[in-house]
Amino acid sequence: MLPQIYHLIAFLVAAVVVLWTTPDIKKIGIKSGRVDQPGDRKVHQRPMVRLGGVSIFAGTIISLLIVWWLGAFGNLPPEKEWQIWGVTLGGLGFFLIGLADDLLNLSPLTRLLMQIIVAAGAWKAGVSIDFVSIPTVGIVNLDWLSLPITVIWLVGMVNAINWIDGLDGLAAGVSGIAAVVMLVVSLFMRQPAAALIAAALAGASLGFLRYNFNPAQIFMGDGGAYFMGFTLAAVGVIGLVKIPAFTAVLLPYLILAVPIVDMSAVILARLRRGKSPWVADKRHLHHRLLNAGLSHRWTVLFIYSLTLWVGSLALAIAGIPSGITYACGATSLLSYAVWRVWKVSRQP
């Protein structure tokens, strides 16, 4: 069993690296002119550097390399260590795709094809959904369906996180909360390898909020969003989906329900209107909340509370001690946030 001190080290190292490197990345972005210009769909009013994903990626990877150097991986079974490297290499692939899009503005089809290729490589490395557990039926092996289902899950989550990255601090905060919940659940389920990656990502995401929360000083860009989306999805696969229990299989989908439901609702709305699901519009949850009259910060905080609520439900379903207490507390917080939204929307 991996001592939990390694998870704390991974979290702290990732946060420190991000806090330390982000200002330098911002300076490099300004000097190189790599900025995101204001536009019709965009909320920011001035050009913003969008290379913050470099710091998030560096913080996560450096922290994992340090705990590896400290001997953490030696306490893991060989297949678990291989899964960590599979997630790391897959994360590198998705980060590079996003970074290339930030720098070169790739076409949607090019991005999608590259994402599918990297996701298939991650599947080959062991980040794979091999079975599903169905009540009254038992474990059903997916066989050849494992590859397409895994690719859909990984690519889908990558784009789901990227799509909610529309307000200062939104994607980083949602990813950070989800990563913390996955860390706790993975430790409880005795999945230390997945918990180690979740700890590193949580530290990097929450550390990035120092510069990304409203008013943001820097954006993470597609590089950061792709990397975080893949890593969250991959942690869910190696830490929870591979456990032969129905509740465990459901947990990653519940923890990541906010970006999943947001993306699904937007795609269905676009298809109903006869539009391509890849054509951007203002139908995301954060756009709707802004249109209802909420401020930028309150919109982000409301979605944080929603993410925390579904995460607390996951803790309760997983059977974690005090999980029900956490769920009740999160429900109270969400109730206040909903009341706030209702009150603002009623104002003339």
Q: What is the residue-level pLDDT of the chain in tens, covering all 348 positions? A: 677 899 999 999 999 999 999 999 999 988 887 776 665 555 555 678 989 999 999 999 999 999 999 988 887 888 888 889 899 999 999 999 999 999 988 888 999 999 999 999 999 988 999 887 776 777 788 889 999 999 999 999 999 999 999 899 999 999 999 999 999 999 998 898 999 999 999 999 999 999 999 999 999 999 999 999 999 999 999 988 777 666 777 899 999 999 999 999 999 988 888 887 777 777 888 988 888 888 899 999 999 999 999 999 999 998 888 888 989 999 999 998 888 888 877 776
Q: Which residue matches tokens 């929603």?
A: 306
Q: What is the pLDDT of residue 81?
A: 84
Tell me how far CA of residue 218 lies from CA of 39, 47, 56, 176, in angstroms.
Answer: 16, 10, 12, 17
Is the CB of residue 208 less than 8 Å from the CB of residue 201? no
Q: What is the pLDDT of residue 42?
A: 56
Among 226, 233, 238, 245, which residue's Cα sits nearest to residue 128?
238
Backbone angles phi, psi at 35, to 5 degrees: -130, 155
Cα separation of 198 and 182, whole Å?
6
Cα separation of 160 and 312, whole Å?
21
| CB-facing half-sphere around the CA of 220: CA atoms within 13 A | 39
Q: What is the pLDDT of residue 171?
A: 96
Q: What is the pLDDT of residue 131?
A: 83
Cα separation of 275 and 273, whole Å?
6
Provide the token pair at 187: 């430790």
Among 23, 301, 53, which residue's Cα sits nearest to residue 177?
301
Q: What is the pLDDT of residue 245?
A: 67
